[in-house]
Structure 1
Amino acid sequence: MVEVYAEKCPNYSTVTHWVRKFKSGFLSVMDEPREGRPTSVVTEKNVSTVEGLVKQDRRITVKQLKSETRISVGSVEKILHDHLNLNKVSARWVPRLLTADQKKERDDCCKHLLRLEANDDLFFQKIVTMDETWIYQFDPEPKNASMQWKRPSSPPPKKAKVTQSSGKVMLSCFWDWSEGEGPLMLAPYCRP
């Protein structure tokens, strides 16, 4: 056997083991089913199970997936990253989520201002702008609690500030066109 198979030849103890099995009447050379963990848990069934759980809840954690599927953390991560091409990202804070009508109204206002500026070169130098906002005291959701699974081609998730408490402060800011001088007035107004 060594002359025929060279390095691929099984060692002596393996050959004697198989000779004993064949002498006792065992003639199959295939592996028999046996108890215990399969060599690889990354199967099509497990991949589809993990994908279904992630589609139900984009915020599900690897530990929750592990307990629901009874697959190790490493195998769950391998399924998520290598087979489903998913990454977990945090939602981006935005002041509020605008409707399509609100976005169109803002677009129309900006176009109107650009038309006014085209007729008057000093138009933007005549504007003093002001903004005011209520600053609410609230407990934001932790960043890791808002993380979701997403594919590289899908847009990142967004979340708006929704929980507010009774304590708040009104903040008003005014700016003019001149550079480097900062706001004209910063006037916080506190209301209990």
Structure 2
Amino acid sequence: MATSSNTPVQLAREQVRLLLFYEHLSGSNTRQAADRINLLIGPGTVNQATAARWFQKFKRGEVEFKDSPRSGRPKVVVEDELLALVKEDPRQSSRCLASRLGGSQRTINRRLHDLGFLWKQPIWVPHVLSAPQLQARAEAADNLLSYRRTTSWLSNVITGDEKWTLYVNYHRGRQWLKPGDSGVPTPKGELRPKSHF
């Protein structure tokens, strides 16, 4: 390859690697290969560390001169899609959101924090009560407040010592919430007596 001394040649990386392969087959060491290529093509075309790396590949039988495919940058997370998923179910972890959106977990965490979301526990509510049960509780509380309290009312209080087993255990998992939001309330477990038959 003849070049004039004052016209530097720009080679693609694959072409430089082909020259390194030629030097490797010629029996040159890495310093000699880098010096010869830089002298022929132009200073800074290849350094000794690059030559050494490719010589190692050639010794292992790897003779592919093109770059191996890379995974590239992570997919850009679209803010609207992320907000829609969090609104749909704020209990989804950043790992789950990342797998659904195709981004990295770190990116999802950063985007959610940038949007003002925090990963925190929601509020507990006593139990899942129907409208009649809520009304009955309100009436019972009203009756107790209006009850005339004398020393005799204590004799009507019944106490007991029973063991209760929770059959419905709700998991109060964390949620993505903005400061001041209470999130999706999680009911406490229903109490049911455990029976032995």
TM-score by length of 2: 0.48
Greater strand percent: which structure? 1
> Between Structure 1 and Structure 2, whose CA radius of gyration is higher?
2
TM-score by length of 1: 0.49
